[in-house]
Chain A
Amino acid sequence: MAIKVMVPGSLRSWFGGSDEVSCEGATVGHCLDQLGGRFPGLKDRLLTPAGEIGAVIIFLNGDNVRQRQGLATAVSNGDEIGIVPLAAGG
C-alpha cells in the first residue's frame, strides 16, 4: 500500500532532503513509524514525548488528521499525507 508524503521545503532536511517520499502502513501513525525508521530523529520532531502530534500539522488528503482520528486515522493506497509546521496554520 503506497502512501505519498509531501512536505514544504523547510522540512526537507527532516526527510533526507526530499520534499516527497513514499511509505506504507494502515494508519497515519504506522506510516510515521515506518518513516521514523528511515529518517533518524524524525519522530522526535513530529511528535511530543507523549507520542502526540507536536509542532506540525499533519494532513490526510488535505484535511487535518486531528479532525479525524489523529495518528490512528486509516490510510488507503494512493492517499497523500502532508506535513507542515504548526505555525503555518496561523
Chain B
Amino acid sequence: MIVDDPRSHFIFVYHPQIFQGKKYTVRQGRELTNREVLDYWGKWLVFGAKDRLDELAKALDPYVEAEKIPVIKYDRAPSKNLGIEECVFMVYCDYRDRDEVWKILTEHGVKLKAWVTERETMELWKPGGPLLERWLESQNMNKVTKFLIREDAGARLRYIHEHPDEAFNPWQQ
C-alpha cells in the first residue's frame, strides 16, 4: 500500500495492515528488539528521478503486501538541503534477508549495490553527526530549537542503546 501524504517529505510503501498496528520490524513472526535493530536492520539505497521511483514503488508494492519486503520509504523531492540532487528510495529489511531483497531489486533494474545499516544511519543523525548538523544548518531555526532537536535525537538514541531487549519502536516521520 503506497502512502503518499503531501504533508510528508517521504512516500511510504507499507503492508496494508500497518494502520491496524502491524509492525514492520518483524522477522519470522517476532518483533525485533532494539539490539537486533542495531545489529541487523538496514536498507538498500536506490537513486533516481521521482517518476522512475514512483514506478518502482508500484512494482514493489506486491512484495511488501506479501511480506517479502518489510517497508519502503522514498523522497518526494531531492533533499537539496543535504546536497542530494536526486530522490533516494530506501528498501528496508533485516541483514539476514537482504540477499533475497537484493535479488528482487535486481529483477526490477537496480544495479548500484549500497547497503546502509541502521547503526550507521543513527551515527549520521546523532547530535553532532554530519547529517543532523547539516540539516539543522539548512533550517531557519533559532538556537533554542536546534538545541531541543539535538536533545531529542540524543535521548531517542540513548534509549535504544540503554534498552537493548525492548521491542523496537520506529520513529514517526
Chain A residues with CB under 8 Å of chain B are 6-10, 19-20, 55, 57, 59, 61-64, 66-67, 80, 82, 84-90
Instruction: Identify 5 new A-B residue pairs, CB closer than 8 A, beyond the known A59-B114, A84-B112.
Output: A6-B113, A84-B45, A85-B83, A86-B124, A87-B131
Q: Taking chain B's interface residues, is the majority helix, strand, or loop, or is none over half, making it mixed?
A: mixed
Closest beta carbon of chain A to B122's beta carbon, Å: 10
Contact between chains at A6 and B115 (CB < 8 Å):
no
Binary interface encoding of chain B residues 101-142 relative to chain A, with 1 for a CB under 8 A from any of its CBs, else 0: 010000000011111110011001100001100100000000
Closest beta carbon of chain B to A50's beta carbon, Å: 15
B residues 23-60 near A (Cβ < 8 Å) are: 44-45, 47-49
Contact between chains at B114 and A62 (CB < 8 Å):
yes
Name the interface size band of chain B: 20 to 34
Contact between chains at A62 and B115 (CB < 8 Å):
yes
Q: Which residue in A7, A10, A84, A89 is a CB contact (below 8 Å) of B120? A: A89
Contact between chains at B134 and A87 (CB < 8 Å):
yes
Contact between chains at A82 and B83 (CB < 8 Å):
no
Q: Which residue in B47, B48, B83, B114 is a CB contact (below 8 Å) of A57? A: B114
Contact between chains at A10 and B86 (CB < 8 Å):
yes
With the chains together, A62 CA to B23 CA distance in Å?
26
With the chains together, A59 CA to B85 CA distance in Å?
20
Closest beta carbon of chain B to A71's beta carbon, Å: 17
B residues within 8 A CB of A19? Answer: 112
Contact between chains at A90 and B111 (CB < 8 Å):
no
Q: Which residue in A9, A55, A63, A80 is a CB contact (below 8 Å) of B115? A: A63
With the chains together, A86 CA to B131 CA distance in Å?
8
Q: Is B2 interfacial (CB-CB < 8 Å)?
A: no
A residues within 8 A CB of B134? Answer: 87
Closest to B123 in A: A89
Contact between chains at B47 and A82 (CB < 8 Å):
no
With the chains together, A86 CA to B102 CA distance in Å?
21
Contact between chains at B131 and A90 (CB < 8 Å):
yes
Known: A59-B115, A62-B113, A64-B116. A10 touches B124 (CB 8 A): no
Contact between chains at B131 and A7 (CB < 8 Å):
no
Q: Is B77 interfacial (CB-CB < 8 Å)?
A: no
Contact between chains at B47 and A55 (CB < 8 Å):
no
Contact between chains at A86 and B130 (CB < 8 Å):
yes
